[in-house]
Amino acid sequence: MEGDTVIYKPDSSTQLLLIAAVVLLTLFIILVRRRLVMTRKGRRLDKILRNYKQQEVRSIVIPDGIGGLLELDRLILTERGLLVIETYPMTGHLFGAEQIDQWTQIIDGRSFKFANPLHHIQNAKYALQQLAPKVPIFYLVVFTGDSDFPKGKPDYVSTLQTLEQDLQAILEAPKMSDSSLKAWNRILRIGRKNGQAVLREVTS
C-alpha cells in the first residue's frame, strides 16, 4: 500500500554473517588488548633486568650435559655470574612446590595443570655448570601475567611484583667479572641460535 513503511528483515544467511563478523571483531579486540598488555609487561621485565645485566642472549640452545640439547629463554651476563630467566605469561591463582611434578592454575573458576617449570630451569643450571664450573649460576622462573601464589611462592620463582626483591641475592654475591665474561664467551661459542653459532671464533 502506498505510504506504508517497508521494513527490511535480513535472511538467515545474512544474520549468520553479521553474527560471525561481530564475533571476529570481538576476538580481534581481545587479541590486540592482550598483545598490548603482554608488551607492557615485557617492557617492565626488561626495565627490571636492565639494572643487573651486562649482556643478554635469548633462545640460545646449549648441550644439556647428558647428550642432548636444551633451550634457554633468557641467559644474562652479570658482574656476579650468569642468570637464567624462564618466563611464563600465565595469569590467575597458581599453586605449586619444588617437589610437585604438576602445578595448578586456577582462572575464572577453572583449574588447569601444567608441568613444574623448576625442573627445566634446574636442568639449565646443571647444563651451564658443565660449561662454566667456576662461575655462579643464578636462576629464576618469572610469571609475567597477572598471577599470584595464594599458598606461598616456591623458591626460585618470581612474579613481576616480587622480581626486584627476589633478585637481591645476586647483588649480595661477590663480583666475578673476569671469570663470568670468559665463561660467557665460551657458552656463546658453543651455543646455537637459529641453528647458527652465537659467537664465532676469530681466526687469523
3-state secondary structure of 10: coil
196 has which bridge partners?
193
Task: Report pLDDT for 4.
Answer: 60
* Predicted pLDDT at 115: 96
Amino acid at 112: F
Report the alpha-carbon distance of residue 118 to residue 154 in Å, rounded: 9
User: Residue 146 corresponds to which cell in the numbers above?
Assistant: 597477572
Packing angle between helix 177-190 and helix 117-131, nearest 10 degrees? 100
Cβ 124 vs Cβ 84: under 8 Å: yes
pLDDT recorded at residue 25: 67
- Residue 204: the pLDDT is 27
Task: Tell me which residues of the chain have a pLDDT lower than 70.
Answer: 1-12, 15, 25, 27-42, 200-204
pTM of the predicted model, to two decimals? 0.75
Place of cell 619444588: 98
* R_g over Cα of the chain: 24
d(CA 39, CA 35): 6
CB 137 within 8 A of CB 128: yes
pLDDT at 114: 95
What pLDDT, on a 0 to 100 scale, did the predictor assign at position 168? 87
Return d(Cα 103, Cα 49) in angstroms, integer.
26
> In this predicted structure, what is the pLDDT of residue 202?
36
pLDDT of residue 170: 83
- Which 8-state DSSP code applies to residue 63? E
In 3D space, the residue among 69, 163, 166 whose CA is nearest the CA of residue 120 turns out to be: 69
At 36 the pLDDT is 42
Which residues lie across from 113 on neighbouring strands?
Answer: 104
Q: Distance of alpha carbon 26 from its chain centroid, rounded?
A: 27
